[in-house]
Amino acid sequence: MNILNLLEWTADRREGRIETKRSTSYNGVDLSTKQMRKMSTLSAGQLLEMAKFVIPPLQYSKHKGQAGRVAVIGGCKEYTGAPYFAAISALKAGADLSHVFCTEAASPVIKSYSPELIVHPVLDWTNSVEEILQWLPRFHSIIVGPGLGREEKILKSTSAVIEEAKQRKLPIVIDADGLFLVTQNPDIIKGYDNVVLTPNVAEFGRLYKKIFNKDADSEEPVESLKQLCCELGHVTIVHKGLHDIISDGDKVLTYSNPGSPRRCGGQGDLLSGSMGLFAAWAKFAQDRSTNEGCSSPTYKFGMQAAYLACALTRECSRRAFELNGRSMTTTDMISQIHPSFEHMFT
């Protein structure tokens, strides 16, 4: 779809002249009817019902922190935008407090982007693990990887934080250089079903090859995804692409509404940041449902969080591109979080 066609498509869809259609190819590979049957796409009504289950209502009686406290582990001298985008996206989507744990060199830069983020310049300190762990009990979820870099010392500290987060059963979203860490040591998340991995095509391929010692079957992306989820102990994985395919090894969801053809850096950070918040909210909802003796939801909270975040990110991308075209950046997308959220989830 070229830019002109996309603009015509968005105008037609906005005016109600066409229905949203799902493409039947994935990264250039045609999906068979059998594969499509394995993938579920929620209707607008089902998406809204999921959102109502997961997203807590705004209430005057609540106090600061009850709507979510999230932390981003990432940010080094070279990469300061990614942790900012992830943390501010969580905040703009509705988190009460958003923290960033970064290196000392990255801290003043990230602070200059926004006074609303709480920035901790400790990631490269010798006692970084102790510094982060004293904050960990306050958080409802953590996002690992945006701008993390690949310095061995920092990756080792990050591994220790992940281990402690697992002990506390915190939802964890892992993206970018966090996926590099997981590919180097898959055991760090194996069997932990409170984690969501968000690989793109290349990252998925590297992780799959690490686990199975062979390339993923590009003709069977759904089966390859389910195999990887199962082998890692039924973790949730969002395989990003033309379709965002989400699975925990048992169930499969796909989100296919077009975003935009503009692939500026930072869009994945908006996804991981909002997903970290949705993961916290979905766990709140799941725990509440369990305590009240309600029936279990159709999808585990990791898949719920992933689906809502994919939907929000693509809608932000669509709206930002409609306004800015080739000039669209992730900052433009972040400005669309509120209208996209209101349009899709209320």
Can you say which residues are annotated as belonging to the binding site for (6S)-NADPHX?
147, 200-206, 269
Write the DSSP string, 141-188: EEEE-TT----HHHHHHHHHHHHHHHHTT--EEE-THHHHHHHH-GGG
Q: Residue type at 96?
A: D
Dihedral (Cα; 329, 334, 336, 337), 10-degree rounding: 150
Q: Annotated binding residues, as ranges?
A: 147, 200-206, 240-244, 259-269
Alpha carbon distance 137, 91 (integer Å) = 19
Distances (CA, A) of 258 to 227, 312, 321: 27, 11, 11
Q: Which of 83, 118, 123, 119 is nearest to 103 (CA)?
A: 123
| Residues that constitute the known binding site for ATP | 240-244, 259-268
Residue in the structure block whose two tokens are 């989830």: 345
Q: Which residue has the tokens 């850096």?
A: 265
* Nearest partner of 176 among 269, 100, 314, judged by Cα: 269
